[in-house]
């Protein structure tokens, strides 16, 4: 094989290879969630409804807005066909998951690294985000 045909073969293979950027998911997926805040420790233990929580998934990040004590940007630890697992990179005791099939959201703030008890949690149902106006 001469140099020209080798170069043509390399260019042909390269033209069929997927671009590196295609390996990451650039979609932004938005949800609106109605949840319940449960406080296990502190001055106000009990359950409190939280409606209108905004969740946005983009790349390897999940942004949560409208929750008491859970607002922030989480990193995605793992995703499979059913679940997306999250953790707050600045507070490793704050983690959760989002069920990709039925929209169940669960976030928890643990009391210690052993995860022996929770301080508070949020659980509820998410649906595709549709702005009212």
Nearest to 63 by CA among 36, 48, 84, 93: 84
Statement: residue 32 has pLDDT above 60: yes
Residue 34's pLDDT band, with cuts at 50, 70 and 90, is very high
Distance from CA of residue 114 to its chain's centroid?
A: 23
Q: What is the mean pLDDT of residues 27-38?
A: 94
Would you list the domain boundaries of the chain? 25-128
* pLDDT digits 0-9 by tens, 35-77: 999 999 777 789 999 999 999 999 999 999 998 889 999 999 9
Does the pLDDT value for residue 4 go beyond 80? no
pLDDT at 132: 87
- Tell me, yes or no, if the pTM score tops 0.85: no
Q: Give me the mean pLDDT over the 96-104 stretch.
A: 95
Please say if the pLDDT value at position 110 is more than 50.
Answer: yes
- Residue 19: DSSP 8-state: P
**Averaged pLDDT, 106-133:** 93
Q: Higher-confidence residue: 132 or 74?
A: 74
* CA nearest neighbour of 117 among 47, 40, 45: 40
Which has more confidence, 40 or 26? 40
Predicted pLDDT at 25: 61
């Amino acid at each position: 094989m001469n140099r020209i045909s080798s170069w043509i073969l390399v260019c042909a293979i390269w033209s069929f290879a997927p671009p590196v950027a295609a390996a990451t998911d650039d979609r932004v997926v938005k949800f609106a969630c109605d949840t319940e805040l449960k406080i296990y420790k502190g001055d106000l233990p009990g359950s409190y409804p939280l409606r209108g929580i905004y969740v946005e998934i983009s790349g390897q990040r999940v942004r949560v807005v409208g929750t008491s004590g859970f607002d922030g940007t989480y990193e995605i630890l793992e995703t499979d066909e059913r679940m997306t697992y999250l953790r707050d990179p600045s507070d490793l005791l704050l983690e959760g998951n989002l069920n990709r099939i039925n929209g169940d959201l669960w976030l928890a703030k643990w009391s210690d690294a052993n995860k022996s008890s929770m301080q508070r949690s949020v659980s509820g149902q998410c649906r595709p985000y549709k702005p009212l106006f």
